[in-house]
Amino acid sequence: MSSTNNWDRTSVVELVVSALFVGVLLVLAPMSYAETSFEQESHGSLKDFGSGALVVADSVVGYRALLRLDAEFDLVVSGMVVQATVKQVFVNNTEQWLEGQYVFPLPSDSAVNGLTIRLGERLIRGEIKEKEIARKMFVKARNDGKVATLVEQQRPNLFTNRVTNIAPGERIEVTLTYLQTLTYDSGEFSLRIPMTLTPRYIPGKSNASHRTSTLQGQGWAFNTDQVSDANDITPQQQNEVKHKASVHIALSSGFDLAEIQAPFHDVHTDRVGGVYHVRLKQPGAVMNRDFVLRWRPVLDEAPVAAFFTESVVDDVSANIEHHGLLMMMPPSTTYPIQGLPRELILVIDTSGSMAGTSIEQAKQALLVALERLTDRDTFNVIEFNSTTHQLFETSVVANAQNILAARRYVKGLDANGGTEMKGALNAALSLHPTHEMSAVRQVVFITDGSVGNEAALLNLIATQVKGSRLFTVAIGAAPNGYFMKKAAQYGKGTYTFIGDTFEVRKSITALFEKIEKPMLTNVKVKFHNSGVTEFYPGNIPDLYDGEPLLLFVQMAEKTDTITVSGEFEGRYWERDIIPNWSFDHPGIGALWGRQKIQALMDESVQQGNRDYHRKEIVDLGLFYKLVSRYTSFIAVDATVMRNNLDTLAVHAIANNLPQGSRQGIPSVGYPKTALGINGILFMGALSLFLGVLVLCLKQDSRIVRIKYAVRRENY
């Protein structure tokens, strides 16, 4: 009888442990998809390859590189417009035919308007097509054995390039052109060249079983119910690099410069005539952080207003469309607002993607922000990773005791876990108001913006912001500039980029000085004698101190006067601008088209239907020859290169992890922005232990059953 009880107890324990084992697997599986979304496919080490290197998975030697020889960035700056050329050179050093796929960042406001691919003496020019048509052309070229390249937009700052039928030993040269506008703030011009990206956090449940696309992405993440294109926006990444980029910028400012600097790279500057030529001092820059150039005009030549123009002929209707870019500085004052108290909500991202120098910069930024508080203010601190936590239940008075508690809290923060931003935004924008009902709520949101569900988060901001103001601070060597700028736009605030620790105090101080001064509100613009006029942004934002009005306009007739008006310090303010139509600035029309496309996409986000303006966006993309969500560049060579007997291998790109990042490397393990490699190893070890325990219990129960049977037989 005792043996029977022993057997029963053993069976119960076995069942319990088995249930625990299955439970761990069930918990682990969604974690690996919903939080890390990683494909477990390893063929060796990627650590020896550089940013942008196509790699070949070889079963014998591990990864072999489809070597990228170099990257060249050549930019021409004229007025407020940048015309950029990006050249990337690859060599297929394998013995097989290859199709390469790579994901690369560009400026968030870039208008991609040109593509060529050179193979030996052949130059293949791209043409703009509707996305699905371009895909069909690419697949047909692939099947026919023809060289082809396809450039698609995944996000306004993230693109994919596919190159098919690259012969063994072949050298390929891909050249991309784009337009963008300069940033001008508080008397300083700047431009930014993204060179890598921070791995995006992918929330949601995996849709891995539904991957049916002919042109499936090669990223580390499965598509999810929240990020349907996750596989397209998560390229493999690695830490150690060998490949570099050259940079040349020809700067025609139109005025003398007081200073010019590249804060994160060593550069050499020459002036030839009225053009400043900026080049890297060393032959190339490691592509593990963004390149930033800043310059200031001499004090007396700082622009107050400018209007850049271009006239474009419609090939179909033969109508002439006049375009303009208006840049105007708002009125300024040296003293801060003397009025309502404020409620300051400081939000910090402590997810795994912030590990390394980014979290240290973010913590320092919060400490500087706490110094700006006065005894008239209330405040709170919110930190988020996989979960959201706020220091105080509701905002508290900014007295010495509460500020000291906040400083201790901030200093103790560390980076780990996923980037669940939704909870933090909800908390910051919907906190119960303090006893000061008249206080202005200012939310300072510090993060690298490395998320894949941008549209859902922007929609949340648009619906929740109400009377609050959201100021985004992008941290790190390669933040998601598109999301950070858009979040600030939707939140009626401003955007600040901090690329290194030495910039923190200066940048945060400048941000608070800006938002503590009066704004130009109720801004209106009138284009006199211009006929039908359409400009973007359509809803002109309030202008903070030092931030210019940038307006892209299309008009039927050439305007002769532009009037800008608004309210400043409670009084009516007005300024007239007389445009000069004698000189065309190429690219203004395309930039207007890009701005309209983005405005239509913004409206689609707010409608909750990303295809809401699909036809209009397609028409704009085709007319202005721009890559968009629904239009792509396709280039196909007429020569058949590969016969049907030769197999074609499809392989992906590796990008560098940003400098200073301690995040897990996506291409060889789970990223720390989610469960973390240590967590995965722990769960794996626990699963192994439970599995061994089950086997031992099975063996033990078999012995018990044998003994029990022998006893019965003897009995």
The 10s digit of each residue's pLDDT in 350-371 is 999 898 899 999 999 999 999 9
Query: Which pLDDT score is estimated for 21?
Result: 52
Q: What is the pLDDT of residue 562?
A: 96
* pLDDT higher than 60, residue 670: no
Work out the percent of the chain whose per-residue pLDDT is above 90. 54
In our burial notation (b when 16+ CB lie closer than 10 A, e otherwise), range 642-659 reads: beeeeebeebbbbbbbbb
Residue type, 340: L
Q: What is the mean pLDDT of residues 410-417?
A: 94
What confidence tier does 274 reach under pLDDT thresholds 50, 70, 90? confident
Give the model's pLDDT for residue 112: 98
| pLDDT computed for residue 213 by the predictor | 57
- Rounded to an integer, the average pLDDT of 628-633 is 98
Least confident of 153-167, 488-502, 693-707: 693-707
Write the CA distances from 598 to 108, 175, 211, 559, integer angstroms: 10, 24, 28, 25
pLDDT band at 338 (very low <50, low <70, confident <90, very high): low
CB 677 within 8 A of CB 664: yes
What would the DSSP string read from start to end of 131-172? HHHHHHHHHHHHHHTEEEEEEEEEETTEEEEEEEEEPTT-EE
pLDDT at 92: 85
Out of 78-87, 232-241, 427-436, 665-674, the most confident range is 78-87
Q: Residue 447, Cα to own-chain centre: how many angstroms? A: 12
Neighbours of 493 (CB within 10 A): 25
Tell me: pLDDT of 50 over 50: no
d(CA 423, CA 386): 9
Identify whether the C-beta of residue 203 lies closer than 8 Å to the C-beta of residue 453. Answer: yes
2-6, 8-12, 158-162: which is most confident: 158-162
Judge contact between 448 and 354, C-beta under 8 A.
yes
Tell me: pLDDT of 669 over 50: no
Is residue 58 pLDDT above 60, yes or no? no
In the predicted structure, residue 57 carries a pLDDT above the cut 90: no
> Average pLDDT of 384-391?
96
Nearest residue to 431 via CA among 391, 400, 459? 391
**What's the rounded Cα separation, in Å, for the pair 524 and 531?**
17
pLDDT of residue 5: 47
**Mean pLDDT value across residues 57-72:** 55
What is the mean predicted confidence (pLDDT) over 583-600? 95
pLDDT of amino acid 159: 94
- List beta partners, residue 196: none
Provide the pLDDT confidence category of residue 715 given band limits of 50, 70 and 90.
Answer: very low
- The residue to which tokens 């080490």 are assigned: 45
Amino acid letter, residue 542: D
438: amino acid identity, one letter: S
pLDDT exceeds 50 at position 680: no
The pLDDT assigned to 328 comes to: 92
Of the candidates 27, 55, 178, 1, the one whose C-alpha atom is nearest the C-alpha of residue 107 is: 178
Cα–Cα nearest to 494, from 186, 262, 141, 286: 186
> How big is the chain by its Cα radius of gyration, in Å?
29
Name which of 363, 332, 330 is nearest 347 in CA terms. Answer: 363
CA angle 514, 516, 519 (to 5 degrees): 70
- All residues at 6 or more sequence positions from 675 whose CB lies less than 8 Å from its CB, including other chains: 31, 32, 35, 36, 418, 683
The pLDDT-based confidence of 668 (bands split at 50, 70, 90) is very low
The mean pLDDT of 444-473, rounded to a whole number, is 93
Alpha-carbon span 321 to 310, nearest angstrom = 8
Q: Which range, 8-17, 85-94, 121-130, is most confident?
A: 121-130
Tokens of 297: 């005009």
Confidence of residue 38 (pLDDT cuts 50, 70, 90): very low
Average of pLDDT values for 43-60?
Answer: 46
Amino acid at 664: G
Q: Give pLDDT, residue 67.
A: 47
Q: Which residues pair with 583 in a beta bridge?
A: none
Confidence of residue 684 (pLDDT cuts 50, 70, 90): low
Strand, helix or coil for residue 466: coil
Query: Which range (44-58, 213-227, 256-270) has the least confidence?
Result: 44-58
At 334, the amino acid letter reads T
* Cα 125 to Cα 657: distance, rounded to the nearest angstrom: 32
Q: Would you state the pLDDT for residue 152?
A: 96
Q: Please give the Cα distance from 438 to 61 (Å, whole number).
A: 67
Q: Which is more confidently placed, 50 or 120? A: 120
Write down the pLDDT at residue 66: 56
Q: What is the chain's mean pLDDT, rounded?
A: 82
Tell me the sheet residues that pair with 292: 192
- Model pLDDT for residues 546-582, shown as the tens digit of each residue: 999 999 999 999 999 999 999 998 899 999 999 989 8
The per-residue pLDDT for 172 is 87
pLDDT at 59: 42
Q: How many angstroms separate the CA atoms of 274 and 456, rounded?
A: 46
